[in-house]
Amino acid sequence: MPTPAPLYSRPLSLWLCLALPLALIVLLLAFPPTSLDFAISHLFYSQELGFAGKHSYWLENILHERAKQAVITFAVLAALGLMLSFVYKPWTWLRLPLGYLVLAMSLCTAVVTPLKVVTGVHCPWDLSEFGGTETYSPLLGTREPTLKPGRCWPAGHSSSGFTFFALYFLLRDRRPRLAKVALVFALALGSLLSIGRIMQGAHFLSHSLWTALFDWMIALGCYHFLLYRPQRKDPKLTAREQAKTVTSLD
């Protein structure tokens, strides 16, 4: 049985969903957490062995490659479901939700590569402080001349987890409790993938924080334009009746 779409979306706090992420973006630009980035990366680095997780089978083959393949499989299945919704009438009601999911997840992952090319930020393992040959430069700083520009900002692999923010917004109006589970899952998976890449020397912590913020904003923006249906106050309805309409979405 399909879950009927509610007449109105659940109330959306712009302060929590939009203002807070934007404030974090401003803080990261104004006060780059460089010292924290280096301190955390040094926890997993030694001059004798390099980064502790760089040659780890579990981190590289399971948490990196297999996790990425699993997310790609999920996205492909969503895309197939979207295509079937145009030819299989019982699935017509899924067209918009799946369209949102495919669009949001695609944008979350697609935005990473162009930003990496434009910014040219190096990975920790590229830097002289961690056994590499490149000189560190902050995100908004001048890049030192090099034959190999960096391709490490923002983090790409953690986007495989944070892209599931889209699943949270997809479910928040139809299945609020399940949406919260999806939100926790996205945060947990994105954080786990982030930690794995930090242990390998592929990214600093801030690289993944930026990815989480970008993915959240993309998922939120797509939700606002495709799925969000704000309640319009009807002067004919009493305050109690309007409250019941909102409560019925919980």
pLDDT value at position 5? 65
Q: Residue 248's pLDDT band (boundaries 50, 70, 90)?
A: very low
The top-scoring range by mean pLDDT among 14-18, 47-51, 137-141, 182-186 is 182-186
- Write the single-letter amino acid at 2: P
* 148/134 Cα distance (integer angstroms): 9
pLDDT value at position 208? 98
126-177: per-residue pLDDT in tens? 999 999 999 999 999 999 899 899 999 999 999 999 999 999 999 999 999 9
> Do the domain assignments include residue 248?
no
pLDDT value at position 232? 72
Average the pLDDT over 173-195 and give the result: 97
> Do the domain assignments include residue 241?
no
Q: Give the percent of the chain with pLDDT over 70.
A: 91
> Do the domain assignments include residue 200?
yes
Instruction: Count how many domains the chain has.
Output: 1
pLDDT value at position 47? 93
Whether 188 contacts 212, CB under 8 Å: no
> Do the domain assignments include residue 2?
no
Q: Residue 49's pLDDT band (boundaries 50, 70, 90)?
A: very high
Mean pLDDT of the chain: 91
Half-sphere exposure of 178 (CA within 13 A, CB side): 8
pLDDT value at position 42? 97
> Do the domain assignments include residue 83?
yes
Q: Give the percent of the chain with pLDDT over 90.
A: 83
> Do the domain assignments include residue 169?
yes
Segment among 34-43, 70-79, 164-173, 238-247 with least mean pLDDT: 238-247
H runs (alpha helix) in the chain: 14, 20-30, 34-42, 57, 67-84, 95-110, 112-119, 159-162, 165-171, 176-200, 205-226, 239-247
Name which residue leads in pLDDT, 10 or 208. Answer: 208
Provide the domain limits for residue 134. 33-139+151-228
Q: Residue 240's pLDDT band (boundaries 50, 70, 90)?
A: low
> Do the domain assignments include residue 110?
yes
DSSP of 167-219, one letter per residue?
A: HHHHHTTT-HHHHHHHHHHHHHHHHHHHHHHHHHTS--HHHHHHHHHHHHHHH
Tell me which residue has tokens 């197939």.
80
55-89: per-residue pLDDT in tens? 899 999 999 999 999 999 999 999 999 999 999 99
> Do the domain assignments include residue 247?
no
pLDDT value at position 234? 58
